[in-house]
Amino acid sequence: MAKMSGGQWLLRLDDLDTPRQIPGIADDIMRTLESFSLLWDGKAARQSRHVEDYQRAFAALQQLGVIYPCGCSRKEIASIVSAPHVDDDCIPYYGTCRNGINGNSHIRSWRVSVPEKEVCFNDLRMGRFCQKLTAVSGDFVVKRGDGGFAYQLAVVVDDGLAGVNQVVRGDDLLASTPRQIYVQGLLGFQQPDYCHLPLVTDSDGSKLSKRDNLISQQLGNVVGREQKLLVAVLGFLGQCPPVELVEYPCSTILEWGVSHFKPLRLPAMGGVLGI
């Protein structure tokens, strides 16, 4: 979708969560992309090198008076609501600390206060999507108590500084997009176009993930199967690639994809990747 529009495809390594990083995994990700001829434009970005940018954005939000310290634990927040928001495991926060932290509590996070109005955008696949932040996320975290910056702030700054004008990602992130759009507006960044793709799942409907359902366990070793997997993905995305395409190198398969990709063919639902 980036190349068919004459744009660049950028690679960013989200490596802010230092304690959970596996040594060497970033290099492995890059080598895997290269084996599929998925070659990024320019230099790969790393979030860990942009902490000062996140701090400046955080200071700007402080200047606007829209963030406040919070002393509530996740367990305490969960006990207030009937159930977490199932779309992205988000538990709504109803602003308990908006008017100050309990005297016996320490700062566990910094939150941005959200308005009552809906945040809406047009997704290139899903169509019009609206969300009332107060009901879904409430005042959400932009910085943790240990000083680390949250994804919802970092990704907005990353996209804004890189000039990203189109974000294509899985529809498991659809529900968090309004939060990012809200922060974009506060910081004066341009809102990108969004396209949330259907997810590849296991046979029981569970999404493949790093944590619960390793892709490597489902698809096996990808070495020597790159062409077959690329063609299967194009088919999964509704693009009807010719069967003989598997005989060509990955670079040729991707060239076909750039020339023939039609977003309107993207399926409404995800499922098992047929390979």
Give domain limits for the chain. 1-44, 50-194, 198-275
How many CB atoms lie under 10 A from the CB of residue 38?
16
DSSP letter for 44, please. Answer: P
Helix (H) / strand (E) element for 250: namely helix 250-260
* Half-sphere exposure of residue 201: CA atoms within 13 angstroms, side-chain side: 13
Say which CATH topology domain 198-275 has: Rossmann fold (3.40.50)
Second-level CATH architecture of 50-194: 3-Layer(aba) Sandwich (3.40)
Q: Do the domains at 50-194 and 198-275 have one common CATH topology?
A: yes
pLDDT band, very low/low/confident/very high, at 16 (cuts 50, 70, 90): confident
Torsion angle of C-alpha atoms 13, 61, 146, 141, degrees rounded to 10: -80
| Strand-strand pairing, 140-144 and 109-112 | antiparallel
pLDDT band, very low/low/confident/very high, at 84 (cuts 50, 70, 90): very low
| Strand-strand pairing, 45-46 and 12-13 | parallel
pLDDT band, very low/low/confident/very high, at 204 (cuts 50, 70, 90): confident
pLDDT band, very low/low/confident/very high, at 240 (cuts 50, 70, 90): very high
DSSP letter for 140, please. Answer: E
Q: Which residues pair with 111 in a beta bridge?
A: 68, 141
pLDDT band, very low/low/confident/very high, at 262 (cuts 50, 70, 90): very high
